[in-house]
Chain A
Amino acid sequence: MALLMKGEQKPKLGVFKFASCDGCQLSILNLEDELLLLGEALDIAYFPEASSRMDPGPYDIALVEGSITTEEDRERIKAVREQAKVLMTIGACATAGGIQALRNWADIESYKQVVYPRPDFVRTLATSTPIADHVKVDYELRGCPIDKDQLRRVITDLLAGVQPRIPTDSVCLECKRRGNVCVVVAKGMPCLGPVTSGGCGAICPSMGRDCYGCFGPAEGVVKGAGHPPNTSSLAKQFHDRLGLIPIEVVRRFRGINGAAASFRRESEAWAVEHTNSEGS
């Protein structure tokens, strides 16, 4: 368990970006008033998104945004890890590969041809992979983007030398606590809330939208102690009762957290179903 010791000096914070949209880093800046408190409690030594100051490591806390999509980043993350006492990934890209992990099911060369005028200039890996595939990750904050209150809470815990509490119970728990009407039952929407980790405060269902799984699979608070969510039962409900055809079920699970293990397995199972239905 990676924890900070109480010391004289303010803990040094580094924020590092890999393949990502910067939205999670913006969530840090969105702490607004509390950002000042954060600046008092932490020495923000490296945060290019926010400051021109770029002090070298080692860092007490490294927040890592983004996934690994290039050879260079594959090496750079190792260097970050070596410099960091506590490494915490922030957001769906860093924890699961992000939306760019859709490439994992596609031919990267053909993508390059379509997107770039000079594809030969582009050097990229065929896959987008989460940080944990490359280095040891101490804590993970889910979401696209992360929830700023959850971030503040985790940093408060780290500053106090306490193991952060990051619950990954279903979105439904938060949704029902808010008194929302379930969009699956009342509107027949294919909401991923039942199998998705909360932490977002059930934003989408609160707005009458179905959850699209941006906090990833709800799989237990302690890594390994939990079990993957029952995606197959929900997928079957989408198909049998809500009328989604197999390719729609595939797309449902293959979103922002499509490469997270249990969502990936579910979409791949329905992709087979889709292929079979195409063939018949």
Chain B
Amino acid sequence: MINPHLIHAATIVEKMRETADIHTYRIRINDEAERRQYRFAAGQFNMVSLFGVGEVAISIVSDPDEPEYLDHTIRAVGRVTNAVARLQAGDVLGIRGPFGRGWPLDEARGHDLVIVTGGLGCAPVVGAIEYIFRRRNQYGAVKILHGVKTPEDLVFHERFERWERQPDTEVLLTSDRPGKLWRYHVGVVTELFEMVSFDPVQTVVLMCGPEIMMRVGVPILLRRGLPATSVYVSLERHMECGIGLCGHCQMGPYFVCKDGPVMRYDRIESWLGRPGV
């Protein structure tokens, strides 16, 4: 059995700028044997470890069929991530993982998908979208609904444009506040729900963003006949161990690191967006 405390030294192969404070780091595990052993499922995360600083949970956004290179999109926002932001290609960091349960991409095969994301926290779902488009014929219609606070918050701009050109795919963007060059909808992301049609029997919903968006948004979708068991949400909590032992990521009866971070809505519904959980 593997020792979950052990970290793999990994080298940054490429650092790709997404925005001023968001970068995607393509890393490769240094040791050949460790690298060959490493496998992950879409939506799982690694504990990314910076020498002498600490660790942070980051989802793997690259394709699980190509586990040699692992992409992590990281926003410089905390103690560890700010320190990671100073690293460049060639620098070494550590990873532990993969941990957690990701998006139900196998179960969703043959289904239509509505993918709802809000704010800057949409990195975990980017990997899932890319996964789907690399296997475009295995999935039905795809509708991507993305909301930001201000037009400046729109990251992954090129990706949205690329996705829009995919067959049988709709991309709808909205911003809470208008902007000069903003050519999309203005309003909260739930307003986009009115602008898409979907077959409630045939559709799987993937949702990622602030809990309050999920708490308010999912019931609107359910009122259109979608079963709660077809909705999956990605959750965020403080994580230190990644294996359900350190206790920090608890959310009601769940350990987000182990039972999630992606959870089926009906299981987490009563805890979502409640203050103090």
A–B interface present (Cβ within 8 A): yes
Q: Which residues of A contact B (CB under 8 A)?
A: 1, 3, 6, 156-157, 160-163, 165
Task: Say how far B78's CB is from chain A's closest CB, in angstroms.
Answer: 8
Interface string of B221-261 (1 = CB under 8 A from A): 00000000000000000000000000000000000000000
Which B residues, 69 to 118, have Cβ-Cβ distances below 8 Å to chain A?
79, 82-83, 86
> Chain B contacts of A162 at CB under 8 A?
52-53, 79, 82-83
Identify the 5 closest CB pairs spanning chains A and B, nearest first. A163-B79, A162-B83, A162-B53, A161-B86, A160-B52
Interface string of B29-53 (1 = CB under 8 A from A): 0000000000000000000000011
The answer to whether B83 and A161 touch across the interface, beta carbons within 8 angstroms, is yes
The answer to whether A163 and B52 touch across the interface, beta carbons within 8 angstroms, is no
The answer to whether B86 and A6 touch across the interface, beta carbons within 8 angstroms, is yes
> Chain A contacts of B86 at CB under 8 A?
6, 161
Task: Say how far B12's CB is from chain A's closest CB, in angstroms.
Answer: 16
Tell me the bound Cα distance from A234 to B53 in angstroms.
Answer: 35
20 CB contacts below 8 A, A to B, read A1-B82, A3-B82, A6-B86, A156-B52, A157-B53, A160-B52, A160-B53, A160-B83, A161-B83, A161-B86, A162-B52, A162-B53, A162-B79, A162-B82, A162-B83, A163-B79, A163-B82, A163-B83, A165-B54, A165-B79
Tell me the bound Cα distance from A156 to B54 in angstroms.
Answer: 14
Q: What DSSP secondary structure best describes chain A's contact surface? A: loop
> Chain A contacts of B82 at CB under 8 A?
1, 3, 162-163
Task: Say how far B176's CB is from chain A's closest CB, in angstroms.
Answer: 25
B contact residues, total (Cβ < 8 Å): 7
> Chain B contacts of A157 at CB under 8 A?
53
> Chain B contacts of A161 at CB under 8 A?
83, 86
> Chain A contacts of B53 at CB under 8 A?
157, 160, 162
Task: Say how far A41's CB is from chain B's closest CB, in angstroms.
Answer: 13
> Chain A contacts of B83 at CB under 8 A?
160-163
Tell me the bound Cα distance from A83 to B50 in angstroms.
Answer: 31
Tell me the bound Cα distance from A165 to B265 in angstroms.
Answer: 36
Tell me the bound Cα distance from A163 to B52 in angstroms.
Answer: 12
Tell me the bound Cα distance from A161 to B83 in angstroms.
Answer: 7
Tell me the bound Cα distance from A165 to B240 in angstroms.
Answer: 15
With both beta carbons as reference points, the residue of chain B lying nearest to A3 in the complex is identified as B82
> Chain A contacts of B54 at CB under 8 A?
165
Tell me the bound Cα distance from A165 to B54 in angstroms.
Answer: 10
Tell me the bound Cα distance from A1 to B85 in angstroms.
Answer: 14
> Chain A contacts of B52 at CB under 8 A?
156, 160, 162
Tell me the bound Cα distance from A3 to B79 in angstroms.
Answer: 11
With both beta carbons as reference points, the residue of chain A lying nearest to B79 in the complex is identified as A163
> Chain B contacts of A156 at CB under 8 A?
52
With both beta carbons as reference points, the residue of chain A lying nearest to B86 in the complex is identified as A161
Task: Say how far A244's CB is from chain B's closest CB, in angstroms.
Answer: 33
With both beta carbons as reference points, the residue of chain A lying nearest to B53 in the complex is identified as A162
With both beta carbons as reference points, the residue of chain A lying nearest to B54 in the complex is identified as A165
> Chain B contacts of A165 at CB under 8 A?
54, 79
Tell me the bound Cα distance from A162 to B86 in angstroms.
Answer: 10
> Chain B contacts of A1 at CB under 8 A?
82
Task: Say how far B8's CB is from chain A's closest CB, in angstroms.
Answer: 21
With both beta carbons as reference points, the residue of chain A lying nearest to B50 in the complex is identified as A162
With both beta carbons as reference points, the residue of chain B lying nearest to A165 in the complex is identified as B79
Most B-side CB within 10 Å, residue of A1, A156, A157, A162: A162
Tell me the bound Cα distance from A162 to B82 in angstroms.
Answer: 8
Task: Say how far B47's CB is from chain A's closest CB, in angstroms.
Answer: 17
